[in-house]
A and B are shown apart, each in its own frame.
Chain A
Amino acid sequence: MTSKTTIPVHLDINGQHHTLELEPRVTLLDALRDRLGLTGTKKGCDHGQCGACTVHVDGERVLACLTLAAQAEGRAITTIEGLAREGEPHPVQTAFLERDAFQCGYCTPGQIMSAVACIREGHAGSDEEIREYMAGNLCRCGAYPHIVAAVRQAALEAAS
């Protein structure tokens, strides 16, 4: 498909500024993966049903597959590549490792981005609440019990 026009889109991703020439239909997910090489954000269903593409926009978790890149202009975007600080993994990343909260790993970046926001929102107060507020992230390997354990551990660490 050829495009009639492209538009300049300025994106602030993980604290770095990028200017891209994009067709208006390009989603934030495709801009991240195909144009910027930030392939940590995964494409699962591409229809807002699986959560693999979860990123933060202005600190809140959203789905990059249903966000146009142009819409994200002027917002602060954080992807899984932007979580670590000074070479140290984010505490939620560490908790996922320690709790073995994945099998194949494809959903994991989305799970972690979702979990970081879930804890920050105050929606990780119990296993039941974690399951409800992490429901937008599907794991086809069925690692859910370990994911809940990892989120619970990270939430407790954040609270202490």
Chain B
Amino acid sequence: MRDFAYLRATSTEAARQAAALPGAMLLAGGTTLIDLAKCGVAEPETLVDITHLEGLDGIAVDERGAMIGALARMGHVADHADIKGRFPAVSEAVWQAASAQIRNMATIGGNLMQRTRCPYFRDPSNFSACNKRQPGSGCSAIGGVTRGHAVLGTSEACIAMYPGDLATALVAFDATVHLGERQLLVDDFFLLPGATPDKEHAIEPGEMITAVEIPASAAARRSTYLKVRDRQSYEFAAASAAVGLELEPDGRTIRDLRVALGGVATKPWRARAVEDALKGKVLEPDAVRAASLLAVEGAVDHGANHYKIELAPRVVARAILTLGEAA
């Protein structure tokens, strides 16, 4: 790991200003950034440590929604009684992410800045071509080993999969990210790779995530996060679904439905086509399975990741049907 200067921020404003300087990066839990610095992917000249700032780690939940400070750590969010009660999919997404140790380190703001696990991106010494790392250098993944790569939202420049769980739940429930004065839907915070896969987030130099806000809804209250993976725990998703369901008073007609996919796309992937196809319909297995196929509309595989196109709709359908059974 190349050496860098270390600066401990004493205020949010000071952190923003320091991190706006060339070569400077904000350091929170470090679970992505220190790892990538060891890989030679991140080469900061200055790290601005924000973990000693106070007042940014609160978790407040009321009838309007949840406000989670950027420095709240994942483990605390997952175990928070009101997050479990009003946003079960959020709690489930977080506790199924990473390991207990990493969840104790990783912050909510840092989680949104998590980078892809694409093995070509992470290995500059063996793979010089990576448009995400070095714009214009090409993509080593296309034509390579693609089992873990995205099938949705890809471009000719990049097929790297977005690996996070939390943001998948956040986009399902219309959460916003607070960047100081500015607020963005989490869905808009994450960018498609297009021709500029190096630009992953709609955050500008001098901006810092201060909080994540999740509006309350009946669908968020009755929600789940289903994560299917190669091993039971401590593994990224092969395919996952954050689903929220609200039924009409008849107990069978779908009033509101939220569906987002993880593990299959280049960003957290809201599947509105599935939602629109089922809203107003009676919840029954055949209709749910048929509509869930819309989750992968437009999917493009690169060989070894084809299974994700088969798997994702099944994960969506199972999540919706499981919620439907849980009265």
Query: Is A71's CB within 8 Å of the partner chain B?
Result: yes
- How big is chain A's contact interface, by range? 35 or more
Instruction: Given A23-B3, A25-B2, A136-B102, verify A71-B233 contact (CB < 8 Å).
Output: no
Query: Is A85's CB within 8 Å of the partner chain B?
Result: no
Give the residues in chain B near A48, CB-CB below 8 Å: 31, 35, 101-102
Query: Is B10's CB within 8 Å of the partner chain A?
Result: no
Query: Is A105's CB within 8 Å of the partner chain B?
Result: no
Query: Is A159's CB within 8 Å of the partner chain B?
Result: no
Query: Could you tell me the distance in whole angstroms from the C-beta of B74 to the nearest C-beta in chain A?
Result: 12
Instruction: Given A54-B101, A71-B51, A136-B100, verify A24-B31 contact (CB < 8 Å).
Output: no
Docked pose: A67 CA to B49 CA in angstroms: 11
Interface of B is mostly: mixed
Docked pose: A5 CA to B99 CA in angstroms: 34
Query: Is B234's CB within 8 Å of the partner chain A?
Result: yes
Which residues of B, 224-258, contact A by the 8 Å Cβ criterion?
232-234
Give the residues in chain B near A123, CB-CB below 8 Å: 100
Docked pose: A71 CA to B28 CA in angstroms: 9
Q: Could you give, for residues 239-279 of chain B, a 1 whenever the CB lies within 8 Å of some chain A CB and a 0 otherwise?
A: 00000000000000000000000000000000000000000
For B46, the closest partner residue in chain A by CB is A24
Give the residues in chain B near A67, CB-CB below 8 Å: 30, 34, 105
Asked if residues B30 and A71 are in contact (CB atoms below 8 Å), the reply is yes
Asked if residues A46 and B38 are in contact (CB atoms below 8 Å), the reply is yes
Query: Is B4's CB within 8 Å of the partner chain A?
Result: yes
Asked if residues B5 and A24 are in contact (CB atoms below 8 Å), the reply is yes
Asked if residues A117 and B6 are in contact (CB atoms below 8 Å), the reply is no
Asked if residues A131 and B233 are in contact (CB atoms below 8 Å), the reply is yes
Asked if residues A24 and B4 are in contact (CB atoms below 8 Å), the reply is yes
Query: Could you tell me the distance in whole angstroms from the C-beta of A152 to the nearest C-beta in chain B?
Result: 17
Give the residues in chain A near B98, CB-CB below 8 Å: 136
Query: Could you tell me the distance in whole angstroms from the C-beta of B96 to the nearest C-beta in chain A?
Result: 9
Q: Within the complex, which residue of A66, A133, A137 is in contact with B35, where a contact is CB–CB below 8 Å?
A: A66
For B3, the closest partner residue in chain A by CB is A25
**What number of residue pairs across chains A and B have CB atoms under 8 A from each other?**
89
Q: Within the complex, which residue of B6, B35, B102 is in contact with A68, where a contact is CB–CB below 8 Å?
A: B6
Asked if residues B104 and A25 are in contact (CB atoms below 8 Å), the reply is no
Docked pose: A137 CA to B98 CA in angstroms: 11
Q: Could you give, for residues 33-62 of chain B, a 1 whenever the CB lies within 8 Å of some chain A CB and a 0 otherwise?
A: 011011100000001010110000000000
Give the residues in chain A near B102, CB-CB below 8 Å: 48, 63, 66, 136
Total contacting residues, chain B, CB less than 8 A: 32
Give the residues in chain B near A131, CB-CB below 8 Å: 232-233
Give the residues in chain B near A5, CB-CB below 8 Å: 5
Query: Is B304's CB within 8 Å of the partner chain A?
Result: no
Give the residues in chain B near A4, CB-CB below 8 Å: 3
Query: Could you tell me the distance in whole angstroms from the C-beta of B16 to the nearest C-beta in chain A?
Result: 19
Instruction: Given A68-B34, A136-B98, verify A61-B4 contact (CB < 8 Å).
Output: no
Instruction: Given A4-B3, A62-B105, A68-B30, verify A117-B52 contact (CB < 8 Å).
Output: no
Docked pose: A51 CA to B2 CA in angstroms: 23
Query: Could you tell me the distance in whole angstroms from the C-beta of B228 to the nearest C-beta in chain A?
Result: 15
Docked pose: A46 CA to B38 CA in angstroms: 9
Asked if residues B49 and A71 are in contact (CB atoms below 8 Å), the reply is yes
Instruction: Given A63-B101, A68-B34, verify A135-B6 contact (CB < 8 Å).
Output: no
Q: Within the complex, which residue of A24, A47, A118 is in contact with B3, where a contact is CB–CB below 8 Å?
A: A24
Asked if residues B101 and A136 are in contact (CB atoms below 8 Å), the reply is yes
Give the residues in chain A near B31, CB-CB below 8 Å: 48, 63, 66
A-B contact pairs, 24 of them (CB 8 A): A4-B3, A5-B5, A23-B3, A25-B1, A27-B34, A48-B31, A60-B75, A61-B101, A62-B104, A62-B105, A63-B101, A66-B34, A67-B34, A68-B30, A68-B49, A70-B6, A70-B8, A71-B51, A131-B233, A135-B99, A136-B98, A136-B100, A136-B101, A137-B99
